[in-house]
Amino acid sequence: MNSNFKDSNKVSWWALISDAFTNEERDYTRGSLKQAVVLLAIPMMLEMSMEALFAITDIFFVAKLGAEAIATVGLTEAFVTLIYAISIGFSMALTALVARRIGEKNNQRANLIAGQSIVIAAAVSLLIGILGANYSQDILRFMGASDSLIEHNSGYTTIMLGGSGTIIFLFILNGIFRGAGDPIVAMRAIWLACGINIVLDPCLIFGLGPFPELGIEGAAIATNIGRGIGVAYCAYILLHGNSRIQIRLPYLVPVFEELKLLVKVSIGGISQFLIATSSWILLMKLMAEYGSTALAGYTIAIRIIDFIILPAWGLSNSVSTLVGQNLGAAKVERAQQSVVYVATYNFIFMMSIALIFLGFAEPIVRIFTADAETVVYAAQCLRVLSYGFGFYAIGLVLIQAFNGAGDTYTPTWINGICFWLFQIPAAYYLAKNLSMGPSGIFYAILVAESLMAVVALLVFMRGTWKKTSV
């Protein structure tokens, strides 16, 4: 296997960044660890930046349709996060398992695990797509949407939920590539999907050129088409490309023991995100009580923050690959050192963004809306949450370190304590009992996310993650 790592005293940053965009096979269990972090992190950060751009693009164009349309996107997205939870949780487990097998130099079993994940993804996509499309209005009503919003905009929710298989497959296929140490493929898939979405969004929403004017439903159609093409690209590489993971028909035949292992590790990953996203749904439901303007401001602020958090999460994802592969190669200290490096880089990145948000919250929000009241809510949300960005940066890396080791259950109970036992009660108490309204929700999120980082650090220092067997 070609390591492709250069003499750290001679290589320039420009050469290293250029190498990050090549799809060469590398061994991340030896050579310069700092170079390994850069080579993995750059495409993973760009991948997640494009994922964030999906959300930013939709809200940018949908915002032209008014506060009710923005609220529809926010309420739908809050429920779609349950699908993200399943997709991301399963994807993280898959990354850990594939990385461990690659570290053990057992590529054939890595191929088998990848094939079995596709079997599960197909079944889950079919089930969620059917249920989501048929109960979209009931879902919006549960989320606190007004009758007017449901009557005029529920088509957006129907299309988004009906096409949710594109979300599931894109995350799972990209999880395979990340675990294999081929992040450039995952990055290209997201870039392709996002580029198509950016072009189609205004065309289908406003009816530009030969396209029909579909309003908010056009945004949902554009997103699903973009993601669907990204999925097709990933599938092509797995079937016909030069990735170290190769899917052949025998790997798609269900194998009970491998399916059992995938489900076992995935339960922890899915559970930790279900806890976080169910908390998110309840916060959105609580925010909806303060009207469409407050909900629109919160939605815009969260989309802007996602644009930053997702690249930081991409940087954190490099830890999953490095920890998984190095534990597979029995290089425990190298796995631990990778966490220190990535946490340092992530902290610097997030603190830089926090300073920008604290100083320029209003101008940033006005890019998306000119409504004065919406700007006030969104800017306040940006500023309050920015105070915790340093904690978020470290927490993201530590959680991904646990997941990369295959210990998906530790983040689950950490999330349960911080989100269910603290964040939700705190949000309701501050917003209602202390009459802080939306501000109370913002501060509850700040403290809960910061608490999660502190707890994760204490658990990480105990070192039990190093002994996880998958």
Query: Left (φ > 0), alpha (ψ -120 to 50) or beta: where does 219 sit?
Result: alpha
The whole-number pLDDT of residue 144 equals 78
Average per-residue pLDDT in the chain? 88
Helix ranges (DSSP H) in 207-331? 216-240, 256-288, 292-328
Lowest-confidence region among 62-76, 104-118, 213-227: 62-76
Residue 180: name the closest of 219, 237, 259 by CA.
237
pLDDT at 302: 86
Q: Is the pLDDT of residue 1 over 70?
A: no
The residue-averaged pLDDT of 301-328 equals 86
Q: Average pLDDT for residues 280-309, to the nearest whole number?
A: 86
The string of pLDDT tens digits covering residues 80-90 is 878 888 898 88
3-state SS, residue 146? coil
The whole-number pLDDT of residue 307 equals 77
pLDDT in tens, 353-381: 999 999 999 999 998 888 899 999 999 99
Would the pLDDT of 212 be above 70?
A: yes
List of residues 6+ apart from 237 with CB closer than 8 A = 177, 185, 243
Segment 426-430 shows an average pLDDT of 96
pLDDT of 9 above 60: no
Paired tokens of 222: 């554009």
Mean pLDDT of 222-245: 91
What pLDDT, on a 0 to 100 scale, did the predictor assign at position 277? 78
pLDDT (mean) for 407-427: 93
pLDDT at 220 over 80: yes
What residues contact residue 354 under an 8 Å CB cut-off, 6+ apart? 386, 387, 389, 390
With a cut of 50, say whether residue 408 has pLDDT above it.
yes
What confidence score (pLDDT) does residue 2 get? 47
Over 60: is that where the pLDDT of 4 sits? no
CA 445 from chain centre, in angstroms, equals 18
Give me the pLDDT at residue 414, please. Answer: 94
| Cα 357 from Cα 92, distance rounded (Å) | 30
Do residues 72 and 296 make contact, with C-beta atoms less than 8 angstroms apart? no
Instruction: Give the pair of three-digit tokens for residue 62.
Output: 């949908």
Residue 49 has pLDDT above 80, yes or no: no
For 442-456, letters b (16+ CB in 10 Å) and e give bbbbbbbbbbbbebb
Write the pLDDT tens digit of every residue in 149-174.
888 888 899 999 999 999 999 999 99
Task: Please give the average per-residue pLDDT across 183-203, as a whole number.
Answer: 91
pLDDT category at 122 given cuts 50, 70, 90 is very high
* Residues, the chain: 470
Convert the pLDDT of each residue in 433-458 to its tens digit.
999 999 999 999 999 999 999 999 99
Place of tokens 């644009």: 307
Q: What would you report as the CA-atom Rg of the chain, rounded to the nearest whole angstrom?
A: 21
Q: Where is pLDDT greater, at 127 or 292?
A: 127
**So what's the pLDDT on residue 20?**
74
pTM score: 0.79
| AA letter at 198 | I
Alpha-carbon distance of 175 to 166, in angstroms, equals 14
pLDDT of residue 11: 61
Q: Is pLDDT of 189 > 80? A: yes
Whole-number percent of the chain with pLDDT over 90: 50
Q: For residue 10, what pLDDT band results from cuts at 50, 70 and 90?
A: low
Residue predicted with more confidence, 394 or 3? 394
Q: What is the pLDDT of residue 5?
A: 56
Average pLDDT over residues 264-278: 85
Q: Which two tokens stand for residue 21?
A: 């965009």
Domain boundaries, the chain: 31-467
Q: By C-alpha distance, which of 440, 333, 449, 434 is closest to 394?
A: 449
